[in-house]
Structure 1
Amino acid sequence: MAVFGSCDRPVVPGFSPAEPAPGSPTRAQIEQLLAQVRVVADRPDALGYERGCKSGEGCVFGPAWTDDYDGPGGHDGCGTRDNVLALSMTGVEFRAGTRDCVVLSGSLADPYSGEPMQFTKSDAGKIQIDHVYPLSAAWDMGANMWSPDKRVRFANDVAFNLLAVNGADNQSKSDKTPSQWLPPNAAYHCFYAGKYLSVAAQYELPITRDDRSVLASVASTCAA
């Protein structure tokens, strides 16, 4: 399965099509992914979602950015957040004595805003790690039935589901799915659609009818 990371109308209010960014999936690739994923009428509201791992909390996706999981980047001695930062940025500098694990600084071509950003450890919240298919949405769509180990793998999957992005857009997105939110950088819509659908296909998670409509509209703006 490939991993991804013209229409004259916006696919989500406030967002308009633009020339797709280099490396974006083609229309055919996105349509192939759309054909693979299951479609449901609406997003359910499954009980029991608790991301926090303090005493008394559910910790349903495991401790944030744990290294203790089986999958890409797991058990390598580095936390998942640092792994994603190191993979996503250029000019990365690491803290001495951490075996190139703890990221101190670097430069990010932010996919969601389309703007260059500088990361420093002292202002770490400026760049955050987004779950492309949000954790709470995944919980509602079926992850509540997964094993704990599978949920931890999903939450830390550097190959499919994680992107380093600017913190403001990550907070704005929250747990929204594509019918409710697309990146402000319209040139990234094709890549985002392919990335979201790749996660859904890989983990056999469904999408809603509204999400499918939006993603199909995005596909129509992508290169043939």
Structure 2
Amino acid sequence: MISLRTKMLSLAALPALLFGSVACTPLTEAGPSAGTGPGQSSAREAAAGSALEQLETLPVKGRAPKTGYDRDQFGPSWADVDHNGCDTRNDILARDLTAVIFKDGSKECVVASGTFADPYTGTTISFTRGNETSTAVQIDHIVALSDAWQKGAQQLSAEERRQLANDPLNLMAADGPANGAKSDSDAASWLPPNKAFRCEYVARQIAVKSRYQLWVTPPEHDAIAGVLSTCPDQPVADASPDAAAAVDIAPEVPESVVPESVPVYANCAAVKAAGAAPIRPGDAGWDPKFDGDGDGEGCTS
């Protein structure tokens, strides 16, 4: 199978494509709530194969309680799901940035710098990894995990939730402040400031919710329909081959069959006690939690 690294690097020009060929007319000033109610007809009939048509296949019902939600319900943050030695954050940075330079000694895994054309704001960001700079570009879950939890993900298996959290279709590099402003909002309460990207954005949300059998609330449905009323021919978001099939999800291996030669460290104290510090992506026993400052090396202090 083609590795995630090979497929993602082939998408380095994705931001340019997003800005150069967005099949969407800018949203009017009516705002995200403008549109039609669930089951009502749009001004133009939804085209076959369009995101608007796919929207009408999603169940519409109320938000479930957030009770029991925890980020850990979706697996470890930025896990190396395809076992290529690189965590998901670096994989997405490598996919969405251009002019990427990798950190020396990281086996072309840790993104040290690059140029990012942010689709959320329409601005260009020069990314440099560091304690004070890494947060300028963050990785957004297009369908926020908390939102997913309240709209069906509670019924998914742990493995399905892990796939949802690491699916490239649901992940996009984004301007840090814009991502912070979004938080766990759905389309009824937040849309990208860059109106030219809104059609693509909600199409991705629809595709993710369709793939994982999640629902939308009535206000969310109306907000999405309002966006798509300006671009009724917006195609269904690409769920293959690069956007979604790029993740090669391996089944969870029961602890009883994990080879004893593979170290598992509970914390940095255990890493240091084993003489494995500093630990880096690709090293045996690596876990993204060891790299608290995002510099590509763990347990250095």
TM-score band, normalised by shorter chain: 0.7 to 0.9
Q: Which one-letter code corresponds to 2:193 in the other structure?
A: P
Aligned: 1:89 with 2:97: yes
Name which of 165, 171, 185 aligns with 2:180: 171
Q: Which one-letter code corresponds to 2:85 in the other structure?
A: G
- Please say which of residues 29-38 and 130-139 is displaced more in the overlay: 29-38
| 1:95 to partner: Cα distance | 1.1
**1:56: which partner in 2?**
none
Tell me: CA distance 1:116–1:146, structure 2 relative to 1, closer, same or farther (3 Å). same
Aligned: 1:76 with 2:97: no
Instruction: Give TM-score scaled by structure 1 length.
Output: 0.82
Aligned: 1:45 with 2:55: no
| 1:62 to partner: Cα distance | 1.3
- Could you list the per-position Cα deviations for residues 168-191 of structure 1 after superposition, in whole angstroms to 9, with x for gaps in the alignment? 010100000000000011111101
The SS at the match of 1:36 is coil
5+ residue gaps, structure 2: 1-17, 19-24, 35-45, 234-301
| 1:9 to partner: Cα distance | 4.2
**1:112: which partner in 2?**
120
Superposed counterparts of 1:117-132, under 5 Å? 117-122=125-130, 123-132=133-142
Q: Which one-letter code corresponds to 1:49 in the other structure?
A: Y
The SS at the match of 1:196 is helix
Choose between structure 1 and 2 for higher RCO, CA contacts under 8 A separated by at least 6 residues. 1
- Could you list the per-position Cα deviations for residues 184-219 of structure 1 after superposition, in whole angstroms to 9, with x for gaps in the alignment? 111111011111101011111101111111111111
What number of residue pairs does the alignment pair up?
A: 194
**1:21: which partner in 2?**
none
Q: Distance in 1 between matches of 2:190 and 2:164?
A: 21
| 1:223 to partner: Cα distance | 6.1
- Could you list the per-position Cα deviations for residues 115-173 of structure 1 after superposition, in whole angstroms to 9, with x for gaps in the alignment? 01111111110110000000001111121222111111111111x10000001010100
| 1:8 to partner: Cα distance | 4.4
Tell me: CA distance 1:216–1:120, structure 2 relative to 1, closer, same or farther (3 Å). same
- Could you list the per-position Cα deviations for residues 19-73 of structure 1 after superposition, in whole angstroms to 9, with x for gaps in the alignment? xxxxxxxx63121211221111x2111311112xxxxxxx211111011x3xxxx
| 1:75 to partner: Cα distance | 1.6
Q: Please tell me the root mean square deviation across aligned C-alpha atoms, in Å.
A: 1.8
Name which of 166, 177, 192 aligns with 1:183: 192
Q: Distance in 2 between matches of 1:189 and 1:145?
A: 29
Contact 2:103 2:111 in 1 (8 A): yes
Which has the higher Rg, Structure 1 or Structure 2?
2
Q: Which one-letter code corresponds to 1:32 in the other structure?
A: E
Identity %: 39
| 1:97 to partner: Cα distance | 2.1
The SS at the match of 1:112 is coil
Superposed counterparts of 1:197-212, under 5 Å? 197-212=206-221
Contact 2:32 2:224 in 1 (8 A): no
Contact 2:66 2:146 in 1 (8 A): no
Q: Distance in 2 between matches of 1:211 and 1:131?
A: 17
Tell me: CA distance 1:204–1:169, structure 2 relative to 1, closer, same or farther (3 Å). same
**1:156: which partner in 2?**
166
Contact 1:46 1:144 in 2 (8 A): no
Aligned: 1:34 with 2:40: no
The SS at the match of 1:221 is coil
Q: Which one-letter code corresponds to 1:181 in the other structure?
A: W
Name which of 229, 253, 272 aligns with 1:220: 229
Contact 2:32 2:226 in 1 (8 A): no
Q: Distance in 2 between matches of 1:8 and 1:157?
A: 31
**2:74: which partner in 1?**
61
